[in-house]
Structure 1
Amino acid sequence: MGFTNDVGIDLGTANILVYLKGKGVVINEPSVVAINSDTDDILAVGEEARQMLGRTPGNIITVRPLRDGVISNYSITERMLKYYIRKICGNSRFSKPRIIVSVPSGVTEVDKKAIKEAATQAGGKAVYLIEEPVAAAMGAGIDIAKPDGVMIIDIGGGTTDVAVISLGGIVTSTLVKVAGDNFDEAIMKYIRKEHNLCIGERTAEEIKMSLGCAYQREEEIVKECKGRDLVSGLPKSVNITSAEIREALEESVQVICGAVHEVLERTPPELSADINDRGIVISGGGALLYGIDKRIEKSTGIKVVVADDPKSCVAMGTGKALNSIHVLEKNQLNQRREFR
């Protein structure tokens, strides 16, 4: 009976990653659900639903039930969680898992309650929350229990979480609603304004992944971009360069650099010295944006490293936290007492 079905969930705006104790990350899918609006039946979840984005007939709607790191559509989030929990734990009422869900730092008590309730309704026996920067640091292999200051920047789909962690907790942090989705929107706006071309979310994401950069590339890249001409209304393709996309993303990158500065300014001097020595770690899907590490390094003068497998850091961290569930139980008990 060594196997347990305890589950760690990185409930992200763009992707949901599920960690199963003893198995590792078993699900990594987009946080998208396709629904038949006539019957309210779920038609597809995850990658299959993402493929339908912008391509569905009138009676099928594709929904992203999380926005800015929190639940924007409660019932669909619950159904999405139920789908994944059943997929990995089966249907038996005896196999209800204990679940750890990551939440952005500084979210409201109302948002925390909504996430806990959704996970409980989806089949969790007991649900615990862990703050994303703490989970990301654990997933990146940092020993957060030490009294040393660690700075982590977690750039997700909906939010960027910047935090300084010491002795297992967050000392100072800030959350900005600028991240991967915002990068896509900035690319769509730029191409609309500069090229009179209307493109969809999926195309913008593909351009971000192939051309996107926060720092000048050694060699510029050119890519063909297809969409609808805003003047003629007909299909059209234009060539886009990585320099243009860097310009499109400049404002968003600047906001993230500003958030890092703000947290550094509020960090106690002893911990600042640690960060200066040890550097800053970036995690999350946004860490894969070319040159984001160099850009933050240039802005702060502090060494910046991208975590190994940054997209999975938070999920891996929730997995590690499953081994110390008793600590989370104690913390939540103390919080309840304070709340009363």
Structure 2
Amino acid sequence: MSEKIYGIDMGTNSIKIYQKAAGVILHQKNMIAMVKKKEPLALGDEAYSMYEKAPKNIEVKQPIVNGVIADFTAMQTMIQLYFKGMHGKKFAEGLAAGGNAEFYIAVPSDITEVEKRAFFDLIASSSLKTKKIRIVEKPIADALGAGLDVMDATGRLIVNIGADTTEISLISLGGIVQSRLLKIGGTKFDEAIQQTVKKKHNLVIGMKSAERLKMQLASGIKEEEEITYDVMGRNLITGLPNRVTVTNHLIFEAMSESLSSIIDAIKFILEKTPPELSMDIMHDGICMTGASTHIKNLDLLIQQETGLSIMKMEEPELTVVKGLGMIMENPDYERLAHNLQDSDFH
């Protein structure tokens, strides 16, 4: 029988929930559609289907921006409604009345204490009253979910390229030695593609179209062969719908600046790495996680620029929530979860 112990990874692009003894029970887009800014209409993938298509009285929003909570009320509403949807009204009322559930929340390491506190307060002040709320630093959960041993004295370098952020972390002995959080990720790539297509073809396209172009044409390394993909949008001059053909070379040009910033940040962390841990990284290489690592040849780019081997995951978007699950399931990892007042968490 599954226990009332949950791990939650609230990413910019998607929300994942793990239940002890049951595994991953939710993986949806982290979006909510609100009518007149207060009535929830749709959540997750259903809300995403309305994105860029909704009338003015329906607002479709992402409650998490750049890895932190941007809309506290919307995110809290989503969490509460997800539990009602997963378990029914009776279970949700039982949680609120009994207060016997436990939650493990993943948070980025390189954010302020106030921003970390917001993740704790999100659950603590909700109708899902609990007996315990623990905070886990995302890079630690990420590394565990990727199959790395984070408890020994070996240095592990993990690069998580998500929707809004890239988090680069050096881990040893269950803690973070060095970390850097960049406001660069899949969304930044999409915005750059939008702007480049607008400039090159006088075509205004939506974020969904830009994302499709990225999925079809993007590559970390410039390819010799030209590949094309047709995209629909609004002509900037005539104002009429139009279709243009976009090449992979144009997409590479659009993304090159952001990719260079990620490479520079990885090199910065490597330069700050203590010599003994540098030896470990030379031996084991870099572990890449996050949904944006699906971009073709991105691993090859990082390998060429750093000279290090690259380890990729089959489901890079799920490593954090799986890592939370490992902490919940294995008592040996309990010290990796913290109360907000723990001195080693600050």
Could you state the TM-score of these two structures normalised by the residue count of structure 2?
0.93
CA separation of 1:313 and 1:70: change in aligned 2, threshold 3 A: same
Aligned partner of 1:156 in structure 2 is 162
Distance in 1, Cα, partners of 2:48 & 2:168: 28
Which runs of no fewer than 5 residues in structure 1 stay unpaired?
none
Contact persistence 1:33–1:80 (CA under 8 A): yes
Give the deviation of 1:302 after TM superposition.
0.7
Structure 1 residue 120 corresponds to structure 2 residue 124: yes
Aligned partner of 1:7 in structure 2 is 6
CA separation of 1:97 and 1:65: change in aligned 2, threshold 3 A: same
Tell me the matched-pair count.
336
Give the deviation of 1:328 after TM superposition.
4.4
Give the deviation of 1:332 after TM superposition.
4.6
CA separation of 1:144 and 1:176: change in aligned 2, threshold 3 A: same
Distance in 2, Cα, partners of 1:96 & 1:189: 49
Give the deviation of 1:331 after TM superposition.
6.2
Structure 1 residue 97 corresponds to structure 2 residue 101: yes
Q: Give CA deviations for 1:201-257 in whole Å, capped at 9, x if unaligned.
A: 111111111111111347442110100000000000101111211111001101110
Give the deviation of 1:192 after TM superposition.
0.7
Contact persistence 1:33–1:62 (CA under 8 A): yes
Which runs of no fewer than 5 residues in structure 2 stay unpaired?
none
Distance in 2, Cα, partners of 1:232 & 1:189: 18
Aligned partner of 1:108 in structure 2 is 112
Distance in 1, Cα, partners of 2:165 & 2:67: 6
Matches for 1:178-257 after TM superposition, within 5 Å? 178-217=184-223, 219-257=225-263
Give the deviation of 1:86 after TM superposition.
2.8
Amino acid of the structure 2 residue aligned with 1:245: I
Aligned partner of 2:73 in structure 1 is 75
CA separation of 1:124 and 1:55: change in aligned 2, threshold 3 A: same
Aligned partner of 2:57 in structure 1 is 59
Equivalent residue in structure 2 for 1:272, among 273, 278, 282 = 278
Could you state the TM-score of these two structures normalised by the residue count of structure 1?
0.94
Distance in 1, Cα, partners of 2:193 & 2:72: 29
Percent of aligned pairs sharing the same letter: 35
Aligned partner of 1:18 in structure 2 is 17
Equivalent residue in structure 1 for 2:302, among 288, 296, 301 = 296
Amino acid of the structure 2 residue aligned with 1:46: G
Corresponding residue SS for 2:2: coil
Distance in 2, Cα, partners of 1:157 & 1:329: 25
Corresponding residue SS for 1:181: helix
Distance in 1, Cα, partners of 2:72 & 2:316: 28
Contact persistence 2:168–2:181 (CA under 8 A): yes
Name which of structure 1's ranges 139-148 and 323-332 shifts more when overlaid on structure 2.
Answer: 323-332
Distance in 1, Cα, partners of 2:224 & 2:81: 45
Aligned partner of 1:36 in structure 2 is 35
Amino acid of the structure 2 residue aligned with 1:108: T
The alignment's C-alpha RMSD in Å is 1.8
CA separation of 1:5 and 1:88: change in aligned 2, threshold 3 A: farther
Aligned partner of 2:342 in structure 1 is 334
Q: Give CA deviations for 1:115-140 in whole Å, capped at 9, x if unaligned.
A: 11112233151221111111111001
Corresponding residue SS for 2:342: helix
Name which of structure 1's ranges 213-222 and 26-35 shifts more when overlaid on structure 2.
Answer: 213-222
Distance in 2, Cα, partners of 1:3 & 1:184: 39
Give the deviation of 1:318 after TM superposition.
1.1
